[in-house]
Structure formats: structure tokens, C-alpha cells
Amino acid sequence: MLSDKVTYYENILLRWNHNMISNSNLLLFYTNGKSSSKPLIATEKHNQVPQHSDLEIVLTSTPDINDVSQSISSAYQQAGQPVEQLNKGEEIIASPPSEVITETESRTIFIQEGDKLFFVGDSLMQGVAPHVKRTLYKKYKIEGIDLSKQSTGLSYPSAFDWPQTVEKTLETDPTIKIMVVFLGPNDPWSFPIKGRKNYVKFKTVEWEEIYRRRIVRILDAAEKHQVQVIWLGVPCMKKVKLHDDMLYLNTLYQSEVTKFGARYIPTSELLGCSDEHYMNFITTSRGNIKVRINDGIHFSRAGQRIIAERIISELVIQPKVKEDKDE
């Protein structure tokens, strides 16, 4: 009962984050004013192939975020588990457990006040990006552009074209210095090619070549505009097939990102799991912390914060150089 109660309130938070970003997407010219929450459906030979749909929670009213946070805390405490106070809306988890988050030895990604981060991704990024944005703006006045959109990826550009969106965004905003990418769970499907009757089968040589070209278009745009890239690998998934598919896609992301000299960050170990074993909780010196929600795909608020802090750990914040008025 307590677990179900915690999950219920975590789902409300997930929906709250999604609504905030979806409303923002309505104002962007390259989303065509669309903010559909329906999952994409691929069809082949008149048979529908269900996608891994994003979690949908229908609310009769918008909850107060502090009330939700306090309810989660109460439920955890009744269960005898330690819990971080979620009503500290502006703060990332302090002093992350050393057994979970490992700092990068060589930091080469620089940013300063006046620069922007650009967030590219699906519903996984929708949960993570707001934490990064709040922390960087509060501490360093560094802004972010979050275009993350649920049920999107690289397999169906006819529904939402990420390479084109990246190219247009970087072309129109020269203050973007870092791009963070988090894609994958909506992509393991056969997809159509214009002018061809049959779909290109998932994991075939041709499918991989096309998919790699779409990855490269994003990286090419970043290189053209001298934007540094942090690409997040997809973490372990609860469903075996989806998990195996993500392992395959991660090899494509990592190989292409490495070729461009960009930063690739695996995320499974951050969330207490591995390529072989899925986990809902991580164990720390403070006890067990739930980092995934029950759909086996998305993150709890604690999981979102852990990934957000990992992104921030890659950044070197440089002081802004002030112009000498006497010159």
C-alpha cells in the first residue's frame, strides 16, 4: 500500500513536469504548435506495432507541488525508508553517494554566464532537464533551452524531426554552447522510407546505416556551430526486449559520439543497475532510494536528480570576463 501511494504521487510529479514542458513547446515555431501526448504508432503490412508508450496520468486538478512532496515524504517515512525533502524545489541532491556517481577525471566542457544549454530528448529528458536548468540558473545565471518532447526519437522524423530541429535551433541561437541529448526508447522499430513500399527492418544493416546518419546530422550541426555535446546512454530497462534494444542503440550512440570527440555518458550504473540487471532502487549509506517508477522506463524524482547532477558534474563553470571600461 505504501509503495503504491509513493508511486501515485511520483506519477503526479512526472505528469506535472510533462505539462510544464508541453505548454512551453506550444510557443515554439518548429513544433508547429503541436504538443500531442499520444504515442506514435508504426504500421507495416496493415498490422499495428505498439510502441513503448510514455506513462499517461489523467488528473482532475493540478496538485500543489508542496502538498505532493510532503505526501511522498510521509509515505516513505511510514515505510521506514530515508527520503530527501522534495519541496526544496531548487536544489539538486547534495553530496551524491560515491558508490553511485563517479566524477570525470578530465573536465573539458566549459560554460559561463550568458551561455546556454540546449536539451534534446524524449520523456526521459523531460524529467531531467528542468533540474539541470534550475540549478545552473540559480547558481550561475546560465540559461537552458529545453525542447524535449515525449514519444519522439530518430526513427520517425515525419512525426518529429530532431536533426532538423537541432539544425534550426543552433542556427538561430549563437548563445548555445552545450547540447545534451537523451534519446532511444521510442526508436527500436522498423521504419518507412519515402518512395518505398516495405519498411526498413530494425537492426538490419540498412536500418543501422540510416539511423547512424541521423545521429551524425545532430553531431554535424553541433560541430558546425562549435557546440559541445553530452550524449546520455539509455539506462537499463525492466522489459527484456526493450532493454536489449537499448543496449544495441547505445553502441550506435557511443561509437558516433566518440568519433566526434564528444562526451558519451552511460547512465545504468548511476541508477544502481547494469547491462545485465535492472533495479528500481539504489543502496546508499543513507539507505535505499527509489530511482525508477513502476513502468520500468522512467525515473523517480530522485533518479532525475541523480542524472541531472551527473550532467552538471561534466561542466566547468568559468567566470564571465568583464570588459575594462577604461579601454
The beta strand positions in 20-137, using DSSP E, are: 42-44, 47-49, 109-112, 116-121
CA dist., res. 189 & res. 200, Å (int): 9
**Can you give the pLDDT at residue 141?**
94
Mark 124-156 as b/e (b = at least 16 C-beta within 10 Å): bbbbbbbbbbbbbeeebebebbbbbbbbbbbbb
Cell numbers standing for residue 113: 554566464
**Can you give the pLDDT at residue 285?**
84
Cα 196 → chain centroid: 32
* Own/partner long-range contacts of 92-95 (Cβ < 8 Å, ≥24 apart): 92/131, 92/135, 92/305, 92/308, 92/309, 92/312, 93/302, 93/305, 93/306, 93/309
Residues recorded for the chain:
327
Give the position of cell 530518430: 154
Q: Which DSSP symbol is given to 288?
A: E
**Can you give the pLDDT at residue 199?**
97
Domain 92-318 has CATH 3.20.20.70: no
**Can you give the pLDDT at residue 58?**
36
Contact 299, 236 (CB under 8 A): no
CA dist., res. 249 & res. 148, Å (int): 19
**Can you give the pLDDT at residue 72?**
45
The residues, any chain, with a CB within 8 Å of residue 158's CB and separated by 6 or more, are none
CA dist., res. 151 & res. 121, Å (int): 9
What separation in angstroms does the CA of 111 have from each of 108, 196, 261, 300? Answer: 10, 45, 17, 28
What separation in angstroms does the CA of 309 have from each of 31, 53, 177? Answer: 28, 27, 18
**Can you give the pLDDT at residue 326?**
52
Please state the φ and ψ torsions of residue 315, each to the nearest 5 degrees: -95, 140
pLDDT digits (tens, 9 = 90+) for 19-51: 665 565 554 444 444 444 443 333 333 333 333
What separation in angstroms does the CA of 248 have from each of 41, 128, 245, 264, 285? Answer: 21, 23, 5, 15, 33
Mean pLDDT by 10 residues, the chain (327 residues): 65 63 52 42 35 36 45 47 38 37 52 96 98 96 97 97 98 98 98 93 98 98 97 97 98 97 96 92 90 96 97 91 58
How is the chain split into domains, by residue range? Answer: 92-318
**Can you give the pLDDT at residue 16?**
65
pLDDT digits (tens, 9 = 90+) for 244-297: 999 999 999 999 999 999 999 999 999 999 988 999 999 888 889 999 999 999
**Can you give the pLDDT at residue 286?**
84
